[in-house]
Amino acid sequence: MSLRSRLALLFFSGLAAAALDATEIVWPTTMERPAERAPADFLQPTVSGRTESALFGMVREDGRRFHEGIDIRPVRTNADGEPLDLVLAAMDGQVAYLNTDVNGPYGRYVVLFHAAAELPVYSLYAHLAKVEPSLRPGKPLRRGTPIGLMGRTSAGASPITKDRAHLHFEVGLILSTGFNLWYARQPDNRGSPNHHGLYNGQNLIGLDPLPLLRQSRVDLLAAVRSQPTALTVGLRTKGTPDFVKRYPALVRGEAAGAAGWYVEFSWQGMPVRWTALAADSPQLPAARWRLLEIDPRQRERLIQRKMLGEKGGAGELLQQNVEILLSTTR
């Protein structure tokens, strides 16, 4: 066998091994996976009618409002026009949280945790008409298991009409187990209880789930790592942030003894890479944290997302996410 043939064999063997190690993922409704279809065939837009409004990103209100996941339309309805599509667990995992009350913009929703994936992620299924009654926190689930019925429940400002019923689906990371402490310290939250604990949307940060769903196997660690760095922040910490303990695969260097962290954020606010800093590092801030670098190519989108302010300083979302990340290090 020639050297070229041996290299080719090694390359394709490596791809096969990577595929075998990847997480199996299924479409999260009883619609067949629409791998070859246009987005308009399986997405449910807002009242604007624009297909892109159902996608992930700054797709709402002319680019002023962020959408954390994708909205999937039903394929079957009853005589009253209400959906008949079941909502399914997208990956093997366990039930992390159930909200059976309609007390927020997500309405009735379920959060699953996927601890065995290359990176332990959550998946979220919102606006459910019904939640499968056998579900309990901690219950293991196989991918494809029904977890509810597609619907349109929401306590948001604008009701979801039956012609726009859908599944809101997202995949992402949890910022901190210290979220409840952070929430309670915010003056604006006095008199406003945190109904959802760690699974409050402010503590969840998603990535675009559509490229994941177009595959039957996905490497979730590679998907998170592949997001380009949009800005970086230096942190000074007394203890190890919960995020570092939860996601060690995103960490470079030794957490023990680190005086702080150089953190790379994606444009939507996900901390995708953490590098431990020594006490003499020039990237270590004198105060608790500071903004270090910005990718100028992503500046406009960072401002839209409120990761940056109009004048280039830290935006309110960046400030919020950093304070949540630091909530366990005081």
Which H or E element spans position 170? strand 167-174
Q: What does the pLDDT read at residue 160?
A: 95
At residue 9 the predicted structure's pLDDT band, cuts being 50, 70 and 90, is: very low
DSSP secondary structure of 284-315? S-SSSEEEEEE-GGGHHHHHHTTSB-TTSSB-
**What 8-state DSSP symbol labels residue 11?**
H
Q: What does the pLDDT read at residue 312?
A: 87
Per-domain residue ranges for the chain?
23-218, 227-325
197 Cβ contact list (under 8 Å, min separation 6): 97, 179, 180
Task: Judge whether 77 and 128 are in contact, CB under 8 Å.
Answer: no
Q: Among candidates 40, 228, 76, which has minimal Cα distance to 149?
A: 76
What does pLDDT average to over the chain? 92
At residue 21 the predicted structure's pLDDT band, cuts being 50, 70 and 90, is: confident
Return the residue matching tokens 């390359």: 11
The answer on pLDDT for 139 being more than 90 is yes
Return the residue matching tokens 């039930």: 95
- Could you give the angle at the alpha carbon of 204 between the alpha carbons of 200 and 205, nearest 5°? 150
Count CB atoms within 10 A of the CB of residue 116.
Answer: 11
CA distance 277 to 214: 38
CA distance 322 to 233: 9
Task: Judge whether 154 and 106 are in contact, CB under 8 Å.
Answer: yes
Count CB atoms within 10 A of the CB of residue 53.
Answer: 18
Tens of pLDDT along 94-128? 999 999 999 999 999 999 999 999 999 999 999 99
Tens of pLDDT along 229-287? 999 999 999 999 999 999 999 999 999 999 999 999 999 999 999 999 999 999 999 99
Does 2.70.70.10 match the CATH number of domain 23-218?
A: yes
